[in-house]
Structure 1
Amino acid sequence: MALMIPGFTYTLLPGSGSVSLSAAIGGSGSPVVLLHGFPQTHLMWRHVAEQLAGEHTVVCPDLRGYGASDKPEAADEEVYSKRTMAADIVSLMAGLGHEQFALVGHDRGALVGFRAGLDHPETITHLGILDVVPTLDMWNVLQGVSAAVGYHLFLMAQPTGLPERMIANSADTFFGSFLDAWAEDPDAIPEQVRAEYLRASAAAVDSIVADYRASADIDVAHDRADLDAGSQLAMPVTVVQQDWGAQLGYDAVQVWRAWAPDLDHRLTKAGHFMAEEAPEEVTAAIRDLLAR
């Protein structure tokens, strides 16, 4: 039996184009969307979602290409651009009757949230970002031997075919290595949840690679166009991340403030999977964001 967030209802909802997204929905009140990261599914939000559902309508989709959502063939880079994936979420929420909503994303989901905030400022009321910097800035700060921490970004940026075959041939080892390396508290991801992440990721190698490949090309172009135009995030933004600035030699607050004038930037001692490792801390940060 598939793992689920207790008390949440599961449904398939239309995204953009002909893509359907699987989403867990619970609670009542003002809407909050929670978007997962890599190599995970919506299940990463299980603790935070239950806490927020006492005050909000909480929607936890699987991104296109991940989990139980559709995995369209990457006929071109637009299919898995963050612009397209952000449009999925806006369409999904409109179908539920929500023309405005708060959005919190982790890792890949945070990049989708960043793009949603820039492309749909009238729709995203509050934006929460967990443990990333914007795509354009990410490539700029990965320099020298410190870039080894992001080797997977370079691998999945390669032309179609090679990375898919390499990863598919050792999917559990590949995806499991990130769950091992990025967690400060491995026990925060129980064995049955880990197994679900690995199963879902192994079934989605092509679409996961396409998502990352888009971030090495079309997503960079979209970010650069916004930077050149002086576009910024108009809504309150909270960023919670590890101290990557100190580790990689850049000023994380300065990077984010260039995009988000109304910024609350927080460092955490939790690992990358902070919604599972420190759910109380993450929930508190989201509640503070929504109160702004």
Structure 2
Amino acid sequence: MLRSILNRLFGMLVVMTLVVSLVFLIVHITPGDPAAVMLGPDATGADIAALRDQLGLNAPLLQQFAHYIGGVLQGDLGRSIFLNIPVTQALWQRAEPTFFLTIMALLIATLIALPVGILSAYYRGSLFDQVATGVAMLSASVPSFWLGLLFIQFFAVRLGWFDTSGYGGPDASFTQRMQHLVLPALSLGVVSSALIMRFTRASMLDVLNDDYVRTARAKGLSEFRVVVKHAFKNALIPVVTVIGLTAALLISGAIVTETVFGLPGVGSLTVSAVLRRDYPVIQGTLLVVSGLYVLMNFAVDMLYLWVDPRVRR
């Protein structure tokens, strides 16, 4: 088991090295002078030269890469051109809405998908199964931002239950801020639940007719215990995998949703950085999101050890 964990950690190191290299190359493969792109067409030659010197673009490429790697290892992701603050500080200031939005959306998706997927597999071929599968396919085809606009129109504008946008004022309580996340979390959660539901259904269908399930029924156990404790427990590995991948995808999927709902999260920061050509922020965001994605995959691998004891061997 220790060897397996060390192999996964080594794989994480290799992946993150490749990610850091690709993120570094973004500035250098951009057509034209990155400093001129950042400053816009009205910049003077002196302004461009000053920015190139500030970003270290005049140094040899290998020296720039070594400097960038050294900064990353020390937690320095550069300094935002427009915000004039360190990128790590900018990301930290915007992390709270994105973090809670991801958690709420994943919770909603899981609470919807797991029961529906289990029941759909148990009542295979029934009307409930057909309706659930059809709704899941429809949900998977709907863009989260379009669903968010519908939620705003119905729940915020027509019914007035929620605010249309924002994250509350500076003095807003934690409860008030969470209320602002209900609609965007629903938008992401409903769309993401489709994939989890389909994997849950498929995984349950694979185990419901196995010998140990029939043996559990022959022992006189209740149907609920047979399905939940015996069947679902053995169907968890594919489900855990897709939940982990969904959590990672929600972080990147929140970019458009945050823009629609006007949330001051990492997503809106990334959009504004792209529009302003604030490359240090874009690089830092890509690096952090990629790192979270890799860590999420590692966490899923570690969950396997708890879910299925056979993996430990």
**TM-score in terms of structure 1 length:** 0.25
Higher helix share: 2
| Structure showing greater Rg | 2
Higher strand share: 1
Higher relative CO (CA 8 A, sep ≥ 6), structure 1 or 2? 2
